[in-house]
Chain A
Amino acid sequence: MTPTMTTAARLAGLPAGLDLAAADGEALHPEAAAESPLSIRGLTVSYGEKPAVFSVDATFPDGALSAIIGPNGAGKSTLLKAALGIIPRLSGEVSVFGRPIDAARARIAYVPQRASVDWDFPTSVLDVVSMGLYRRLGLLRRMRSEERAHALACLERVGMTDFADRQIGQLSGGQQQRVFLARALAQGADLYLLDEPFAGVDAATERAIIEVLKSLRAEGRAVVCVHHDLSTVESYFDHVFLINVRRIAEGPVASTFTAGNLQATYGGRLAAGHIEQLRLGGGTA
């Protein structure tokens, strides 16, 4: 949050992660260094004997929209869930803004796949959004009026204010996805991790979601999406991470989202014609 400090540290010729301010015991957090919002080292996940994600390194940039891309079963969602500790990992380290993930959970917002929950659950839209306030409210404190107003403001950002009192099962798929995004907004995080946010939503919802994600980027937050629609990668994202069990490539969209890298990621599953339709420049990376 205070990039100047890092600059100071760099000027002083100190190694990364070792700040003078922190050494002085000032109230500045070490994670304020310009560390990557999400850095993954040697992550391996296995269902049974076959690895789903194998020894993956990834570094996502701050203040940018990043996409995790790969074919079905390539381990996109698995990578995200294992990084968050939702599913167990065999090995690997994950740091968030330079700190171990468990020390940085307050700075992370997570949007699971819509199909991962039971929408028949007896709860209202506003109730789901206020689940994003849990870390602030704790076990027993009642929601104050300003916290309620904050939850309503988050619903407003996704255009769902009118549905605040609806039971969540009475929403369309796109509306449910927006409610999940509103809950993540209520978390007030610096890093947003979204699992297939555009899957099975209507066009209006897709536009609404990408507008919100772009406004988060404008506020300097980092956004990482598991994404499956290759045709929107260039218009939505700044950074891509290509995965097929192993890391294939990562970097800025312009230089990394190339026909060659896609061929390497999808293998025979993506016909040359599809890649042609994307009108990508450049050959192999």
Chain B
Amino acid sequence: MTHYSVWSLIKGGLTGQKNWTRAWRDPEPKSSYDVIIIGGGGHGLATAHYLAKLHGVTNVAVLEKGWLGGGNVGRNTTIVRSNYLLDANAHFYEHSLKLWEGLSDDLNYNVMFSQRAVINLAHSKPQLDGFARRGNAMLLNGIDAELLDRDGVQAMVPYFDYSESARFPIYGGLMQRRGGSARHDAVAWGYARSADARGVDLIQNCEVTGFRIEDGRVLGVETTRGFIGAQKVGMAVAGHTSHVAAMAGLNRLPIESHKLQAMVSEGLKPLINQVYTFGAGHFYISQSDKGGLVYGGDLDGYNSYAQRGNYPLIEHVHAAGMALMPSLGRLRLTRHWAGVMDMSMDGSPIIGMTPIEGLYLNAGWCYGGFKATPASGWCFAHTIAQNRPHALNEAFTLNRFETGAQIDERGAGPIPGAH
């Protein structure tokens, strides 16, 4: 693997750019591996990277039915934050944020992580009180948080609607300065390149069609490219968890698949310098490094595996955006798309063991999968390598709904579409 640096760039510039090699191999699958990861998205690739780097497990294959990073890691709005109330979430996502802070160096790949701050807007005094409580919880967990009043928000972004006639008047906000955004594809590609360099086989166009399980123990997977044996199999297939798990006999998981849309406007000079969430209006917005405003809202509202959105929600998102920032009405929407979210019953993920020996599950990411990518892979790799969860993911069990130990950040109850 060529080490990327300013010197290699200069050298390439002086030698006609002929020094670039493939970022990863395209190997044929071997007959068996120590570990197979199903799903070549951000979480699966991160798992492979940390298995190889931190646990010395390099006889690993990542099986991807399409191409690497073709699922939700390439279909999100790239927001990174750790502004959570509940301890299990706070510690997990803060670990993720810390990994983000060193990720470009760790991977020798620029993931363009930009800590431009994430601000949740408050539109009533009780909501601001709620934010103060969450901010205090964050501070107690060692996470940065700052409460902003109305003037504080206005000083940062003067072109929201601060008038008397605003649909939801802005009372203030909760800011996490260390939050921000990153380049989505680079995260997948950086993890892929690093895992490949450590010996992991990344096998694309290889769909898992079944599991071979005997005496409650996984022996490998059937794929469109034949049977591949494995000591351990980890699933990281996001929105498609239910039907992949059903092939292994894990029916009726606490997950529903819904779709979430995202939209991008035409490119502009810098306008939105932070990430803003407008919960009262179901809207959030940031600006990409290319200049497009990247924004979205809530789920489309019904179970779906279709990676396309519906028009009523596009209209709703724009109406909400206009309520917050009327000048948006002068812009044109250039692209929109939808991703399939694996919505869990409490809004928190599942990373851990399954009733089948050697089979591990990574699912239930709701809207939060992108920011979790490093910690998800880190914890999943630990769980697979050690055959037990790490302290950071021991609360995210599959059976927590049976024991009553849900991690319901929003208190929305077992209604996946409401998280």
A, B bound: no
